[in-house]
Amino acid sequence: MTEEELDDLELLPQKKLHFEWLLPVLFRPRSTFEKVVKQPNSVWLTPMLVLSILLVILALVSSPIRAMNSQMGAELPPDFDYYPPEQQQAIIEGQQSMSGPVFTLVFPLLGSLAGLWIVWLVLGSILHLTLTFFGSRSRTKSALNITAWASTPFAIRYLVQIVAILVTRQLIDNPGLSGFFAADMGGFRLFLSLFFGLVDIYAIWHVILLVLGVKTFANLTSAKAWASVLLAVVVMFLIQASFGLLGSKLGNSGGTRPFFFF
């Protein structure tokens, strides 16, 4: 197809949502990515929309448990009985607000949604840079499309988490490989915990799909495709773990995992 034909094709009305690709991208990724690459316009909306909806559901089922944990963990300060009545009331109201929907639903949901979209945009941009470094002349649009569709395994992760929370009535505190690290650690070991907390079977599945997607449009050898994807993902993980460490320090929360981890 010539460049003029591509330009004419981009002027035609294009289908924006492709729900019919959601299952095939997991089980027949090569043929699905070929369809994604052939699209003249951006087609990242469908997987990002599905992931966003699942994050909303995950936040809804997690909110009551967060509220209960907040109430159980609330402690009155020493000598509370000697405080003036106005100060006692302010402390009690403050603790109650921490278990309210703003802190147990709204803030976690906004953080998760912002993290989802920011990580997709940053990872797609980094992937484009690494592909360029290894000799590809692909467009940023292709990298963003492939990054979005290669993120579909995270929908499975969210579904598993939703079911697990509904069944166990407990939040998932140690995702990925972070369970190998103590929860009360700090410094570099906390950074490692946050970094490896991003590594699980769904992240590995995501990497494999990224490589398959890159090979459909980047015109690179398998070795360069793997190198570009792994470099982009590791850099993204380092950025996320760094922000997680910063958030833990600012919040003085020990090993509390930030909401925006994707």
Specify the residue for token string 């990242």. Answer: 44
Q: What are phi and psi of 37, to 5 degrees?
A: -65, -35
Enumerate the H helices of the chain as residue ranges.
3-11, 24-27, 29-38, 45-73, 85-98, 101, 107-133, 140-150, 153-168, 187-196, 201-217, 222-251
Provide the 3-class DSSP secondary structure of residue 223.
helix
Domain residue ranges in the chain:
31-251
Distance from C-alpha of 124 to C-alpha of 232, rounded to nearest angstrom:
8
All residues at 6 or more sequence positions from 235 whose CB lies less than 8 Å from its CB, including other chains: 126
Nearest to 63 by CA among 94, 95, 106: 106
All residues at 6 or more sequence positions from 20 whose CB lies less than 8 Å from its CB, including other chains: none
pLDDT digits (tens, 9 = 90+) for 216-252: 999 899 999 999 999 999 999 999 999 988 877 775 4
Q: Is the pTM of this model over 0.95?
A: no
Q: Is 252 left (phi over 0), alpha (psi -120 to 50) or beta?
A: left
Confidence of residue 97 (pLDDT cuts 50, 70, 90): low
Q: Is 219 left (phi over 0), alpha (psi -120 to 50) or beta?
A: left
Distance from C-alpha of 116 to C-alpha of 163, rounded to nearest angstrom:
20
pLDDT digits (tens, 9 = 90+) for 114-173: 999 999 999 999 999 999 999 998 889 999 999 999 999 999 999 999 999 999 988 877
Residue 259: predicted pLDDT: 43
Instruction: With a cut of 80, say whether residue 13 has pLDDT above it.
Output: no
- Cα 192 to chain centroid distance, Å, stands at 18
Specify the residue for token string 């920011």. Answer: 118
Distance from C-alpha of 147 to C-alpha of 151, rounded to nearest angstrom:
6
Number of Cβ within 10 Å of residue 73's Cβ equals 10
Q: Is the distance from CB of 209 to CB of 29 less than 8 angstroms?
A: yes
Mean pLDDT, all residues of the chain:
82
- Type of residue at 192: L
